Chains A and B, each alone.
Chain A
Amino acid sequence: MKVKRAKLSWLERLYIPSILNGFKVTMRHFFSWKRSEVYADKQSNFAAKTTMQYPEEKWPVPTGYRGAPYLVKDVDNSTKCVSCQLCEFVCPPKAIRITPPGRDGDVDREGAEKMPEAFDINMLRCIYCGFCQEVCPEEAIFLLKDYVITGENREELIYDKEKLLSLGGLDQRAYNHHVQEGVDEGIKKWEKKTQDAKNQAEFH
């Protein structure tokens, strides 16, 4: 295709008017910068700034953000994970490594059969895809909002079960439900089951 170019006038070909115009534009931006204190009153200045003063100012993490995957606890403070290893299976970068408990594994809840002996996530490998959260049948792993994952060596960034559980904390959704409804429906899944089994044992 042949582009028809506009014929430039003599003045335009001298470039000088364009250069002057350029000076004007850059000056306007230079001075439109609100050089108010960078650290003062973040809210009011936020819109004028395109740069965020990171460690002091934190980015408002949107809902649905996929941060680091952590293990959550049930409201009775027990481990939700049952070591089904589906997340390990589905994890594309193979960041998750679970050691099954074997026959004599410990559990921290009455009526539970199986809990992971070790649960390691290599945060250096994790790509925050959220497949683990999606696949988890027990709703035990969630991608929370942490995005600052730092460490001084590689070993430090392989998070073990204790670390993941303490970072994950209480399953917030279950907790809210528990608080609002005042019932255990949908949470403490195992409690109801264990209770049912007990009742029926008496019936026999």
Chain B
Amino acid sequence: MPEFITELLTNHPWLIVAIKVLGVFAVVMPMVAYSVVAERRISAFIQDRVGPNRVGIPFTNIKLLGLGQPLADGLKSFLKEDFTPGHVKRIYYWMAPAVSMTPSFIVFAVIPFGSMLGMQKMVIADLNVGILFTFGIVSLGVYGIVLAGYSANSKYPFLGGIRSSAQMISYEIAMGMSVVPVFMLAADPAWRDGLTSDWKAYLEGTGLLNLSSVVAYQSDSLFSWLIFKQPIAFWIFLISIFAETNRLPFDLPESETELVSGYNTEYSSMRFALFFMGEYAAMIAGSALMVVLFCGGWTLPFGEYFNTPAQGLVQGIIHILVFIGKIAVFLGLMIWVRWMLPRFRYDQLMNIGWKRFLPVSLANIILTAIVLWAAA
């Protein structure tokens, strides 16, 4: 690396953060775009259709199985009329799409999407309270939808907004409770002593709620993944993520059959696209959280090359790719489930959230506590 760049980066550490942010955006935005394409193609295959298979490289006849579709979709969104109905509450109406999309992206700030690249940890903000930050930000996502529903000033968006707020609050509780046992295991300072020196150096100065710490906890072997240690917690967390991202079978805020398009009924053009991107960004963020909390983050239990912080550039990139691969698996699952399950009735949704998941997650905490106490 040229001297002056190294100097520049040393003197201005915020530049490194900015580069990381750009990097994350550069990866997440295409992922959003292509998860939409994947959604459409997979749904088409499941329904014995073809799906978008035409758009390839612009101005050529190369079709690439429709992989150029995001370009066309984006272009279309930009060219559509950005219509603001006369009856909306304008400020909120204009704010809502941004408010809805931003939290999904902020979550990526604390997620360790790789080990090391060069001298840098592959996490934008290596917070000691990573998980708390995540929950704090995720709960902001509901405001976008509620604002959209409220500002549109018409009945379907309004109902969608109400449903969404009730649903997200309900499932946030179950989600939060389900993660507690994870940290009951992972936030035990004792296990860190057994780590390799690489890991020790890597976790130097981080707190126990740090997400990299959770990754380190799971790096040992396949069965140290918390998905196996805390299956109930994983199950509740997974389903809660579905609910938090308004994915089927929990897409009651949109439910086309009853509410036209729910909270985004009155939106068009790029504003609508922002909601759309927000939903997929939230899916990716949720998948990333699941990967970090339950599936070993960027590690793979195939020896030191994969489960200790990277020394070289290639190893670092491989770790990032592993992380992205794991996210892709979860995205696939979410898409798959969408085309399989029918939508819950609203009372069923509430029933599951409050009367099943909340008690079960509480019981899980107690069970974990008992086991830990007994082991101690």
Contact = CB atoms under 8 A, between A and B. Distances in A.
Interface in A25-54: 25-26, 29-30, 32-33, 38, 49-51, 53
A30 B38 CA distance: 13
B231 to A, nearest CB: 12
Contacts, number: 31
B64 to A, nearest CB: 13
B336 A23 contact: yes
Interface string B40-77: 00101111111001000000000000000000000000
A22 interface: yes
B340 A33 contact: no
A26 B50 CA distance: 15
Size band of the A side of the interface? Answer: 10 to 19
B34 interface: no
Size band of the B side of the interface? Answer: 10 to 19
Nearest to A25: B340
Given A19-B341, A23-B336, A23-B340, A29 B50 contact: no
A187 B112 CA distance: 84
A167 B200 CA distance: 81
B48 A26 contact: no
Contacts of A38: 50, 53
Interface string A53-76: 100000000000000000000000
B272 interface: no
Max chain B Cβ within 10 angstroms of own Cβ: one of A23, A33, A49, A50: A33
A22 B340 contact: yes
B339 interface: yes
A29 B44 CA distance: 10
Contacts of A22: 340-341
Contacts of B49: 50-51
A192 to B, nearest CB: 55
A23 B336 CA distance: 8
Given A51-B50, A53-B50, A33 B45 contact: yes
A33 B49 CA distance: 8
Given A30-B42, A38-B53, A50 B341 contact: no
A17 to B, nearest CB: 13
B356 to A, nearest CB: 10
Contacts of B53: 38
Given A29-B45, A30-B45, A33-B45, A49 B341 contact: no
Given A23-B336, A38-B53, 11 more contacts: A19-B341, A22-B340, A26-B339, A26-B340, A29-B45, A30-B46, A33-B45, A50-B49, A51-B44, A51-B49, A53-B50
6 contacts: A19-B340, A26-B336, A38-B50, A38-B53, A51-B49, A51-B50
Nearest 5 interchain pairs by C-beta: A22-B340, A51-B50, A26-B340, A33-B45, A26-B46
